[in-house]
Structure 1
Amino acid sequence: MASPARYCPSCLSHTSPSTLLRRPHASNAFITHQQIRTAAQSQNAQKYKRKDQPASQKRKKQRTTFLEPDMREAIQFPLVDAMRYLRAAEVGRPPTSSKYEIHLRLRTLKNGPVVRNRLRLPHPVKTDLRICVIAPPDSAAAQAALAAGASLVGEESVFDAVKAGTIEFDRCICHQDSLPKLAKAGVARILGPRQLMPSAKTGTVVKDVAASVREMVGASEYRERLGVVRMAIGQLGFTPEEVQRNIRAFVEGVKRDFAGLSDRISKEIHEVVLSSTNGPGLSLSGELRGVGSVATKDVGMA
């Protein structure tokens, strides 16, 4: 008769009751700590086994580029037809109250640098810009700026008006000699959010303020946001030829901005969309007139 199995006394405290009830084999009469620990870990692994998440709940990999619609499936319009549809959406409005706007959808990275610049179109859209020049009021630069079309010139008087909340200008230029006073005036927190703070990066801190004023009158600014560059391209009363020349100048200006970027940064124009103040966005085919389009002289208010 085989002798009863013996257990190590120090192992009994770590052994579960279910293990003691089973009669071990003669060759495994003694149970080690490592065997008990392995058995406990396997039981816990089965008990708390993590279930695989369904495919719909798995986190998708983030895109590094913006969405690019397939232009082969898009409905595109010649410029004349697009202007006719947009003018129908603006029926009853004065030709100068509504404007055409161009949207350039870019093929670019989300975290890449953005393009930003100022452009004077062949046919300016807004010619009543109020330009402020920060320069000593009794200097020759101030007198030349007033002669060029500036509406407000000065230093302390401009700073006091800005701090009081009176901002009666649409653009602001600073003379190089007045830059230290501008930095100490404490108006950056007021002009900055309104994109009126002069800076060398945007070309609004200059030495020849008169030339900058003449260039800025009738110029428009644009900035890339979320892979799209937008800018007003014409008034509702513009002819198709005038709008076409403005679009061509705008596209060429944006391409020059692309050329000024690093060689490692790739930006391309993916789509050109024309819209109006109250109208939809229509993708342009690049043609002035298509088959069946009316004559450009017949494009009028609907």
Structure 2
Amino acid sequence: MASLKMPIAQLSRLTIGPAVRSQPRLPFVFSGAADQLRCASTKANPKYKKKDTKKKKKTTRSSFIQYSLKDAEQFSLCDAMRYIRAFEVGRPPTSAKYEMHLRLKTLKNGPVIRSRLQLPHPVKTDIRICVICPPDSKAAEAAKKHGAVLVGEEAIFEAVKAGRIEFDRCLCHVDSLAKLNKAALGRVLGPRGLMPSAKTGTVVKDVGATVKEMVGGSEYRERLGVIRMAVGQLGFTPEEMQKNIRYFIDHVKKDMSAMSDKIHKELYEVVLSSTNAPGFSLNGDFRSANSPSTRDLSVL
């Protein structure tokens, strides 16, 4: 009897073998991963919501911020001087200066106030003035007569280029303006605020009168809605300070009234400070019930 193993083995090769080899190999894909990717869409997950592409317009202020003075503590002039002098104890009377800060209600991008005045009691009497004009002219004689320290043209140009700037203010005669521009001193004098120009009123015809006004005079300019200027020395009496402050405020009000009707500027707050002391807002009174006598404030 023949063995059955051989036919069965052959039959298995004929039926099972080819069928297994003919099956194509498919890549293995986990169906759960696809479901997870679908769940991460913007509709299913609130974290991935579409952002609003419309940009919000930023509102910019056209004027400077002014804080309310209703709750602010304000002082009379004598009281403010009393506290300021306490901060300046031990300092020489000419080293520290009283400074006035005038806060204005004004537009940001509007024109600014800029001027010069001579106080009833000058703060700086040792100011050094330079006048650029022909050295042998009548303008040079008038400038020297009224207190100018340096007068000339080429000698001053060479000194400035060499770095020797021995003056605090600089004026230029109209006839010497062309030589000044040719010397190209703007890079040196411009950053220091000493370059003469017609806008600042330092290019003049009558040099003598301008030097006379400038000796003992003070300049001020509005910056960020505030005008700052020194109005007195530490040794000034309250009466002298009162005269200087009134003259300064009146001069600024005249500057505001001389501007166009379309430009509105208004004085909002008056603050008195010093070189090393904080600012004290003034209420407009000269003395209060608890103020010390003016004699005590007049002696250092």
Deviation at 1:49, TM superposition (A): 2.3
Describe how 1:59-208 pairs up with structure 2 within 5 A: 61-208=59-206
Counterpart in 1 of 2:293? 295
Corresponding residue SS for 1:73:
coil
**Structure 2 unmatched runs, 5+:** 1-41
Between the aligned partners of 1:229 and 1:64, the Cα distance in structure 2 is: 19
Q: Name the counterpart of 2:51.
A: 50
CA displacement 1:103-151 (0-9 Å, x = unmatched): 0011011111111111110000000000000011111110111111000
SS at match of 2:156: helix
Structure 2 CA distance for aligned equivalents of residues 51 and 140 of structure 1: 74
Matched ranges for 1:203-282 at <5 A: 203-282=201-280
SS across alignment from 1:256: helix
RMSD in angstroms over aligned alpha carbons? 2.1
Contact 2:236 2:298 in 1 (8 A): no
Paired with 2:57 and 2:84, the residues of 1 have a C-alpha distance of 42
| Percentage of identical aligned residues | 65
Q: State whether residues 131 and 172 of structure 2, in contact with CA within 8 Å, keep that contact through their aligned partners in structure 1.
A: yes
Q: How many residues align?
A: 256
Query: Structure 1 regions of 5+ residues with no counterpart?
Result: 1-41
What CA distance in whole angstroms lies between the structure 1 residues aligned with 2:202 and 2:58?
44
Q: State the alpha-carbon separation in 1 of the partners of residues 49 and 70 from structure 2.
A: 52
Equivalent-residue separation in structure 2 for 1:276 and 1:90 (angstroms): 8
What SS class does the counterpart of residue 114 from structure 1 fall into?
coil
Q: Does structure 2 conserve the Cα–Cα contact (< 8 Å) formed by 1:87 and 1:301? A: no
- Given residue 143 of structure 1, which amino acid in structure 2 is its aligned partner? E
Per the TM alignment, residue 60 of structure 1 is displaced from its structure 2 partner at its CA by 5.0
Q: Is the 8 A contact 1:91 1:301 kept in 2?
A: no
Q: What's the offset of the Cα at 1:301?
A: 6.0
Structure 1 segments, 4+ long, off by >6 Å, are none
TM-score by length of 1: 0.81
Partner of 2:20: none
2:33 aligns to what? none
Separation in structure 2 between the aligned mates of residue 236 and residue 228 of structure 1, nearest angstrom: 23
1:149 is matched by which residue type in structure 2? G
In structure 2, how many angstroms separate the alpha carbons of the residues matched to 1:186 and 1:196? 13
Mapped partners of 1:51, 1:211: distance in 2: 66
Q: Does 1:285 align with 2:286?
A: no
Amino acid at match of 1:141: A
Task: Output the amino acid matched with 2:267.
Answer: I
User: Distance between the aligned counterparts of 1:242 and 1:278, measured in 2?
Assistant: 21
Q: Deviation string for 1:47-104 (max 9, x for gaps)? A: 7522699xxx977522211111111111000000000000000001111110100000
Q: Cα 1:52–1:188, aligned 2, differ >3 Å: closer, same or farther?
A: closer
SS at match of 1:230: strand
Whole-Å separation in 2 of the counterparts to 1:293 and 1:145:
46
Q: Supply the distance in 2 between the matched residues of 1:87 and 1:209 (Cα, whole angstroms).
A: 39
Match of 2:132, as an amino acid?
I
Q: Secondary structure at the match of 2:229?
A: strand
